């Protein structure tokens, strides 16, 4: 197997793109694809300050690294969720990565913000850990970005994540959630920072190969509370279809991005300001403040 660009030994075959590549050209291929995605969907401008939420996993570290390499102004934000050893390890990997590549990283501790770690809060509220975690992350990414003058939040969601979530939302016709699958969510309120997913057209396998070749030390374990069966089943099903017909995931997700259902829905959502924290919400008091009230969090 030879690299299609230089003829040297290829290390990977990308059937969705009908191409085999050597290490050097895989790196170039991924970085160019991210750059093209940013341009095609007008995700970010060079004069915008970008906050990359970094979990310590390959996708978010890749996002931080690639955006920096492409010349964008980026800083990372890691949220320590207080999930025992898993969170300690994630924070350590993120900090080591930042110092190795001389990138700026901010760290927030959920325990200091809520008075409880995410699993403790979930237990007290009798809610699944993943739903508390998702809510806390979404709220804090936006709040931190807004308060520190970032114009963009760029997460590390990859193609497999997006295609699987999209399929799951369609299977259950969760129309309200489908909008979140967009590759860009513009600011629709002064305190709502634009969100983008520069890696949304890069598959899990391509992302893993990139991190491996670059020699990144990332956290490999899944969160112990990882959403479990359904999302994994959906990813496996999509991989089976992909195996039969390479490019399926990309066609599915890119086809969705062309639908105007997204734009229509975006305009329909009316946002108010939370009576407690002032951040945008569809209710009188936002879900984050409702949670804090129920927890009796005293810390500000
Ligand atoms: P997930 O919801 O775990 O699939 O993660 C989606 C994206 O959220 C990742 O690609 C990261 O950009 C970001 N993220 C997840 N966990 C954290 C964390 N603990 N701290 C900061 N960012 C995170
Ligand atoms: Zn090559
Ligand atoms: Zn609030």
Residues 63 and 211 in one domain: yes
Residue 83, domain CATH: 3.40.50.620
**Strand pairing category for 194-196 and 152-154:** parallel
**Domain assignment present for 122:** yes
Which pLDDT value is given to residue 265?
A: 57
Establish if 162 belongs to a structural domain. Answer: yes
Looking at the structure, tell me whether residues 178 and 299 fall in a common domain: no
Judge contact between 56 and 89, C-beta under 8 A: yes
**Are residue 159 and residue 293 in the same domain, yes or no?**
no
Which ligand lies nearest the alpha carbon of 59?
1
Residue 22 placed within a domain: no
CA–CA distance, 5 with 298 (Å, rounded to integer)? 59
Residue among 92, 110, 155, 234 to mutate when testing ligand 1 (max atoms within 8 A of CB): 155
Q: Are residues 129 and 258 in the same domain?
A: yes
At what angle are helices 159-171 and 204-214 packed, to 10 degrees?
160
At 260 the pLDDT is 64
Residues 134 and 75 in one domain: yes
Half-sphere exposure (Cβ direction) of 200: Cα atoms closer than 13 Å: 28
Token digits for 231?
Answer: 């999302």
Q: Is residue 281 part of a domain?
A: yes
Give the count of domains, the chain: 2
Query: In 12-108, where does DSSP find H-type helix?
Result: 23-40, 58-69, 84-100
Q: Tens digit of pLDDT per residue, the chain (300 long)?
A: 999 999 999 999 999 999 999 999 999 999 999 999 999 999 999 999 999 999 999 999 999 999 999 999 999 999 999 999 999 999 999 999 999 999 999 999 999 999 999 999 999 999 999 999 999 999 999 999 999 999 999 999 999 999 999 999 999 998 878 877 899 999 999 999 999 999 999 999 999 999 999 999 999 998 888 766 678 899 999 999 999 999 999 999 999 999 866 665 566 678 999 999 999 999 999 999 999 999 997 656
156 CB within 6 A, ligand 1: yes
Bridge partners, 105 (sequence order): 76
Domain that holds residue 297: 270-300
CA 157 – ligand 3 centroid, Å: 26
Query: Are residues 247 and 230 part of one domain?
Result: yes
Q: How many CA atoms lie within 13 A of 158 on its CB side?
A: 18
Looking at the structure, tell me whether residues 228 and 296 fall in a common domain.
no
In this structure, the answer to whether residues 276 and 134 fall within a common structural domain is no
Determine which residue's CA is closest to atom 9 belonging to ligand 1. Answer: 156
In 154-247, which ranges are continuous DSSP H helix?
159-171, 175-178, 204-214, 229-244
Question: What is the Å distance from ligand 2's center to 19 Cα?
Answer: 11
């Amino acid at each position: 197997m030879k690299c299609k660009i230089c003829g040297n030994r290829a290390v990977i075959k990308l059937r969705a793109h009908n191409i085999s590549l050597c290490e050097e050209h895989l790196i170039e291929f991924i970085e160019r694809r991210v750059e093209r995605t940013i341009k095609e969907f007008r995700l970010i401008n060079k004069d915008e300050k970008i906050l990359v939420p970094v979990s310590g996993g390959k996708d978010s570290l890749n996002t931080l690294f690639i955006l920096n390499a492409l010349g964008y102004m980026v800083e990372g934000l890691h949220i320590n969720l207080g999930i025992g050893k898993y969170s300690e390890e994630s924070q350590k990997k993120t900090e080591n990565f930042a110092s190795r590549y001389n990138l700026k990283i901010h760290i927030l501790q959920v325990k200091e913000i809520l008075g409880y770690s995410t699993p403790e809060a979930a237990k007290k509220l009798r809610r699944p850990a993943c739903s508390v975690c998702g809510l806390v992350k979404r709220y804090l990414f936006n709040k931190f970005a807004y308060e520190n003058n970032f114009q963009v939040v760029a997460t590390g969601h990859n193609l497999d994540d997006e295609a699987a979530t999209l399929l799951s939302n369609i299977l259950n016709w969760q129309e309200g959630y489908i909008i979140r699958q967009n590759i860009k969510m513009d600011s629709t309120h002064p305190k709502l920072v634009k969100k983008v997913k520069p890696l949304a057209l890069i598959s899990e396998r391509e992302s893993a190969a990139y991190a491996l070749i670059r020699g990144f030390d990332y956290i490999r374990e899944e969160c112990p509370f990882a959403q479990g069966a359904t999302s994994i089943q959906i990813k496996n099903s999509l991989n089976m279809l992909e195996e039969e017909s390479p490019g399926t995931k990309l066609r599915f997700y890119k086809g969705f991005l062309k639908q105007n259902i997204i734009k229509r829905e975006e305009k329909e959502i009316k946002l108010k300001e939370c009576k407690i924290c002032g951040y945008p919400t569809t209710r009188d008091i936002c879900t984050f403040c409702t949670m804090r009230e129920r927890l009796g969090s005293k810390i500000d």
